[in-house]
Amino acid sequence: MTIEDIINELEGYRSNYSLDEDEITDFFENIGEKIYALNDIDSNSLKRIIKSFFTYLDNHSPNLEENWTFIHLLESLNKPDYKIYNKILLDFNNTTPTITSVLLLNRYINSLSGDDWKAKVNLLKEISENSDFDTCVKKAAADFYNFQSTKS
C-alpha cells in the first residue's frame, strides 16, 4: 500500500450515523496499521497524510461525534514534536472547525502554557462566537473555553 492509497482511502471514507462505532474504529485501526507499515515517511508525505485526516473531518457534518481511535491515531503520527500536526490543526480550526477538531484543539491547549496557551484559548473563544460556524461546534468551543479559563 502506498501513501497515495492511504490518502485516497481516508479522503474517500464516509462514516454516517447508521454505521456502528465499531465499524468506524475498525476503519481507523486498519488505516493506522497501513500507515505504520510504511517505512520512513518523509515530512511532506506526513503532512499530506495528516491533512487527509482533516479532509475526512471536512467531508462530514461538523457535529459528527468524535472517534477516539481516529483521535489517538492522528495525534500519534507526528510524535514527538507535533509541528506539522499542530499547524494543520490550528489552520483547520481557524477556517472549518468541527466538534472533533475543537476537542483536538483543547487537548493541544492542555500541553501549553504562557502566551501560547492564552492565544490558543482565545481561538476557542473566537470559534464559540463566530456566527458562521455550526451551533454544536460553537457550544463545544464555548465549553472548552470555559474549562480552560478556570485554569488561568
Q: Residue 56: what pLDDT?
A: 94
Q: Residue 17: what pLDDT?
A: 65
Q: Residue 18: what pLDDT?
A: 66
Task: Sketch the domain layout of the chain as residue ranges.
Answer: 3-149
Q: Residue 84: what pLDDT?
A: 97
Residue 69 near residue 28, CB atoms below 8 Å: yes
Q: Residue 136: what pLDDT?
A: 95
- Which residues in the chain land under pLDDT 50? none
Q: What is the pLDDT of residues 10-35, one digit of tens each?
A: 999 987 766 778 888 999 999 999 99
Q: Residue 93: what pLDDT?
A: 98
Long-range contacts of the stretch 11-16 (C-beta < 8 A, 24+): 11/52, 11/55, 11/56, 11/59, 13/56, 14/59, 14/60, 15/60, 15/64, 15/67
Q: What is the pLDDT of residues 136-147, one digit of tens each?
A: 999 999 999 999
- What is the distance between the alpha carbons of residues 126 and 11, in angstroms, rounded to a whole number? 28
Helix, strand, coil percentages in the chain from 3-state DSSP, rounded to 5: 70, 0, 30
